[in-house]
């Protein structure tokens, strides 16, 4: 029973990693902003430790857009475009907000504030959930050799676990039958 549970769990994890990578890839191509996600929700990998210990490098964050009439507040962790040229994203905490919507941000682990004010048009949304180590695992599993190796190892394990092991009881009864047959041929019983 335990073997079946382990097989199903292993297969489920491999399938989940493949589906997650396909989802992230396809939605990043389909969304207008080229960020993976669905609807107002976005999934982003954190590459640096600027928000540690709240969010570490290798974590994945779920970001949702602010609704109509909703504005970022001081203390919110937001994701925004650095600028139009680089198309890189930054996830930092709001330190100050002006009446016109411009934001001053800072990473929790950074000593200084981020340079300049963030235009509200560059805002992607607010971080609502963090998945520890998910981005690191996702990045690791995206490597073709890693994925091929994991699939090959899992397939080999499935193949080997399907073989029926010879039990001692079967082995000893076969030996007893062979000894009796040999003794019968010799004429002793």
Express each pLDDT in 167-178 by its tens digit.
Answer: 555 555 555 555
| The pLDDT of residue 76 | 97
Cis peptide upstream of residue 53 (ω within 30 degrees of 0)? yes
**Domain edges within the chain:** 2-140, 143-186
Percent of the chain surpassing pLDDT 90: 45
Of residues 177 and 89, more confidence is placed in 89
Average of per-residue pLDDT values in the chain: 83
Domain 2-140 in CATH 3.90.400.10: no
* Phi, psi of 118, deg, nearest 5: -90, 125
Residue range 134-159: average pLDDT?
81
E strand residue ranges, the chain: 37-38, 41-45, 60-64, 77-81, 89-97, 103-106, 123-131
Residue 186 has pLDDT above 60, yes or no: no
| The pLDDT of residue 126 | 97
**pTM greater than 0.75:** no
pLDDT tens digit string along 66-80? 988 899 999 999 999
Burial of 39: CB neighbours in 10 Å, binned 0-12, 13-18, 19+ = exposed
Residue range 112-130: average pLDDT?
93
């Amino acid at each position: 029973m335990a073997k079946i549970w382990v097989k199903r769990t292993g297969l489920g994890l491999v399938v989940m990693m493949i589906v997650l990578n396909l989802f992230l890839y396809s939605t990043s191509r389909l969304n207008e902003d080229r960020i993976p996600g669905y609807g107002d929700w976005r999934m982003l990998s954190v590459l640096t430790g600027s928000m540690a210990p709240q969010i570490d490098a290798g974590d994945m964050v779920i970001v949702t857009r602010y609704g109509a009439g909703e504005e970022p507040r001081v203390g919110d962790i937001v994701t925004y475009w650095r600028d139009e040229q680089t198309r890189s994203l930054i996830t930092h905490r709001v330190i100050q907000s002006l009446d016109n919507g411009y934001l001053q941000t800072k990473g929790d682990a950074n000593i200084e504030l981020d340079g300049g004010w963030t235009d509200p048009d560059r805002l992607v949304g607010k971080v609502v959930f963090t998945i520890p180590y998910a981005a690191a695992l996702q990045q690791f599993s995206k490597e073709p050799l890693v994925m091929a190796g994991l699939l090959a190892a899992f397939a080999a394990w499935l193949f080997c676990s399907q073989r029926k092991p010879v039990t001692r009881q079967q082995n000893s009864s076969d030996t007893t039958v062979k000894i009796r047959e040999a003794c019968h041929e010799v004429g002793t019983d």
